[in-house]
Structure formats: structure tokens, C-alpha cells
Amino acid sequence: MHLVLIVVVIGLIYFIQERLYRKYWKRGLRTSLCFSKEYMECGEEAELIEEIENDKTLPLPVFHFKFSVDRALRFEDMENSVVTDCYHRNEVFSILGHQRIRRSLTFRSSERGHFRVESVNVMVRDFFMSRLFAFTSREDVGIYVFPEKINADRIASLTRGRIGEIAARRSLIEDPLSFRGLRDYQSMDPYRSINWKQSARTGEWKVNLYDATQDAEVRILLNLDTDSMIRADKLLEESISLASTLARIYLAKKERVMVWTNGLTEEGNKLQAPGLGSELSHGITIDKYLTVIRKSEGKDVFLSRLDAELTSMNRSTLYLIISPYYKEDLLQRMDRLLAEGAAVLGVVPYYSSLGFDARRSYLTGWEVSDYAE
């Protein structure tokens, strides 16, 4: 008799709790997942923050919190996780009524990219572990991991040499709208600089003084097509890092900078290039643009861009053309930019085992460790 009573009581308890969990398990249950930063530099630390709140009296004895993210994000805590093509995390909690749990998972990124967590799978079991209740939460959170910046000592070899000479030359270009004053005429002054009205008034030749041009700008044009059968990913990644690093250097000098590339997203979509900017915050915009690149439109698109630049260039522009590809069709367009009075520097990332052929004085090589290493 007692055994029958115990079975009945247990059955009743099971039935009641099963009905309670079926009806109320999701009530007051809130989950969220977010990154501690919107963006980070490659190699920096950041956190992925999990938060679960059970705002009801009914406890959740077994609660699973599952998500996946790109394995380029390397987490310190590998417990409850599996790494395959992605990093899969399965957190298991026991949550009391009216309790909130918050956990932070520290990670570093090993490579550039825009990494997202699009959804979280939530699973809950009742006290008897007999019923499973589940739903999917749409989180859609992401973090930008910016291109790796190149070592300051190494990049200085570029900025001290040819670029330094070009920068000095550009600083001599005067802006006719930035009048600064008058001085006496000297034999090397062009006649167009003479201020005829002031010369007539004083009886001596006077010439106008102007500040350096305010239209000076740096255009970084990045070609991501090597036109080569050799594995190109390392060359292209170095090219993107060069563009990102040089943009930051010139922005730090208050230069007006723009970056354009023939890169595409993973889905093959074209990217909207950021315009000119001189604030340090413009570097973040540029890095976001470079971060999502995964493919290339091809060299023909890049050559067309150079043709367009030839129709709208001005003498105060410095063209930094970064391209692992440097055959004659590209070089001839760079020749024309130079002939029209623009300042031009071509930076050619190349594999150390293949070498670099400096076919023009404005070309400089950028050695990348051997692709076979």
C-alpha cells in the first residue's frame, strides 16, 4: 500500500511539474550575447559576454546555452567547447528563480575579419530530465578585427625614403586661396606671383606669399589581384596591412586620406569606399572597410580606376599604389600620372623567394616571407 502511494505521489509530482514547465519555462527568460567592443586590433584581447535572466519563481535545473563563432577568435577557456570549422560553445547552467547569471569569455583574434554570432540555441530540461524545451534567440552581434598593423621600425623604411622626398615636394605647392602677405620680388619669382596693385603703390616690385596648398591629399589605391597562380593569400593580407598602416600614419600627420580597393566581400558584393578624411576617427572607417574584404574584382577594375584618376588628378595628390601585380599595363598608367605632375609611389609586396624587379624609379619592393614556409 505504501509503495503504491509513493508511486502515485511521484506520478502526481511529475505530472504537475511537467505541466508547469510546459506552460511557464520560457516566461521571464531573457538571454543576451554581446562583444565588449565594436572593433579591435588583431592580437588584442576582448570579451564575449553572456547574460541569462530567469525572472520567475520556477527554477531551471538544467539550462543549455549554445552558440558558434569563427575559430579565428581564440578563447582562453576551452571548457564546454569544441573547435571544428567554427568554435562551438555549450554552456550548462542551473538557474534559480529570479536569478541573473553573467559570464565573460576572454579571447584574442588571430586574423582580420568581421566575426558574427547570429543566433543562440537555448535548451531547458524539467526536474525529471524527461522533457526538453528549446528555442533559438536571434542575437546578430559582431566585432571587427582590424588588419594587423606593420611594425613601426619596418614601415619607417618606406616613410623615410621616397615618400619623404615626395612629401617635401608637395609642401612647396602653394594654394592661391591662402594669401599670407607680401615680400620683395626676387629674380627667380614667376611673373604671375607679382602683385601689380601693391607694386604700383610702393614703387617697388612686390610678390604675393601663399601658404602651402590645403588641397594636398593622399590617395591609397590597393590592388588585390596578383595575376599569379602562386598561393596569394599571404601577399594580399600583407597588402591590406600596408594600406591600413600607411593610412594611420598620414592621418596622424593631419593629412587628408582616402583608400580605394578592388576588394569584394565574402558574398562577392562591392564595397562603398570611404571618402577623404583627416581626423584620426577616419582611420576606423578605413579599417572597417578593409576588414570585410575577402575577394577581388580583378586587375581590370583596378586599371579602370587608374584611368579615372588620370582625368581628375591634381598636382598636390600623393598616389600610394599598393599592388603585388606590376606588369606594364599598370606601370604605363602610373607613368602617365607621374607625367601629369602627380606624386606617385608604387609599393610591390613580393615573396622573398621570387624576388623583385624595380622597373621604375617610383617602385619600391616590400618583401614577404616565402610562400612555401
pLDDT digits (tens, 9 = 90+) for 204-255: 777 665 544 445 789 999 999 886 666 778 889 999 999 999 999 989 888 8
Separation of alpha carbons 141 and 191, rounded Å = 63
What are the sequence ranges of the domains in the chain?
28-146, 152-171+214-368, 180-212
Q: What's the predicted TM-score (pTM) here?
A: 0.81
Of 370, 320, 339, 343, nearest to 155 by C-alpha is 320
What is the tens place of the pLDDT at every residue in 44-81?
999 999 999 999 999 999 999 999 999 899 998 877 77
Query: What are the backbone angles phi and psi of residue 96, rounded to the nearest 5°?
Result: -80, 175
Query: What is the CATH code for 28-146?
Result: 2.60.40.680
DSSP 3-state of 361: coil
Instruction: Name residue, grid cell 591629399.
Output: 217
Sign of the torsion angle spanned by Cα atoms 232, 236, 239, 241:
negative
For 327-356, how does the pLDDT look when each residue is reduced to its tens digit (9 = 90+)?
999 999 999 998 888 889 999 999 888 888
In CATH terms, are 28-146 and 152-171+214-368 the same topology? no
> What's the CATH fold of domain 152-171+214-368?
Rossmann fold (3.40.50)
Q: What's the grid cell of residue 326? A: 606590376
pLDDT single digits (tens) 298-335: 999 999 999 999 888 777 788 999 999 999 999 999 99
Residues 53-64 as b/e (b if ≥16 CB within 10 A, e otherwise) read bbeeebebeebb
CA 312, CA 319: separation in Å to the nearest integer?
A: 13
